[in-house]
Amino acid sequence: MVKIGNIELGDFPLLLAPMEDVSDPPFRAVCKDNGADLMYTEFISSEGLIRDASKSVQKLDIFDYERPIGIQLFGSDIDSMREAGRIADAANPDLIDINYGCPVKNVACRGAGAALLQDVPKMVAMTSEIVKITNLPVTVKTRLGWDDTTKNVTEVAERLQDIGIQALSIHGRTRAQLYKGSADWTLIGEIKNNPRITIPIFGNGDVDSPQKAKMMRDTYGVDGIMIGRASIGYPWIFNEIKHYFKTGEMAPPPDVAMRVATCRKHLQRSLEWKGLVTGIHEMRRHYVNYFKGFDHFKDYRMKLVTSYSVDEINAILDEILIRYADNDLIKV
């Protein structure tokens, strides 16, 4: 049984990675329905929280059906992160996660996210302050290092464990790689098998199929796997991996009825949480992913991303259901 603090996650948990503009409550709802064991909010700016910025505060919204769930914070200033940790703690998540892995320019070049891999003492000091101000488990997500010449995640893992973090998720790329090339899980496996390390180690990067998940589990011995991009438009990946682990066989892929039903639920959650205009607008980024592999889908996609009417969107989804009912036009 893998545990983070007192949170029991099963024998080999599958985690939904925190993804900006993706892993909001509507998306988390469909991933939870389809087997995600632990999820995180989108990453939240510590500066935004302490300034009470509406976008940052809204990201604190969590719901009981999502539990267990962690609030993820990022920032470059220790005092701001400490105060943001207090605010996050008051929102009553199951854990607080710190982002030391985001590689994007407007985060890393401002001294936050993966930039802290260049200043491990500051990372340790920042993490220690958050551990001190909460009774919740504190976890961290990071990368192998800043670049190929500074892969320092082993030092990071040992020092952060020593000051009290209770789990570590590692993306198998450096900051310099961004999301290019292939993830290298070798160091992740070494950290998991390091006798100094006793906390759960979760691997992240390039897991996009049940077969690959099994290979990563069996080869590197991690305690669980964090899945990000492969879940976008395909939340079924969590249960498909679990089915494969249990039976050794691939579950049948979702048919068009399942895809449409899940898309409708995602849309409904988006409307409930964000309101009509924003809910419709922000759902547009997901349609093409739900129906990836559908032949001659361009016209339907254009209709979906240009409609502001819920009834019209549902009518288009009805058309898709009929058009692709025999599945012959779906390539998976």
Cα(202)–Cα(221) distance, integer angstroms: 10
Cα(200)–Cα(284) distance, integer angstroms: 36
Cα(316)–Cα(293) distance, integer angstroms: 17
Q: Judge whether 139 and 168 are in contact, CB under 8 Å.
A: yes
Pairing label, strands 69-74, 44-45: parallel
**Phi then psi dihedrals of residue 81, to 5 deg:** -65, -35
C-alpha closest to that of 160 among 187, 200, 189 = 200
Rg (CA), the chain: 20
218 Cβ contact list (under 8 Å, min separation 6):
none
C-alpha closest to that of 175 among 199, 189, 156 = 156
Q: 31, 102, 109, 263: which one is catalytic?
A: 102
Determine whether 102 is an active site residue.
Answer: yes
Entry field: residues in the chain: 332
Catalytic residue IDs: 102
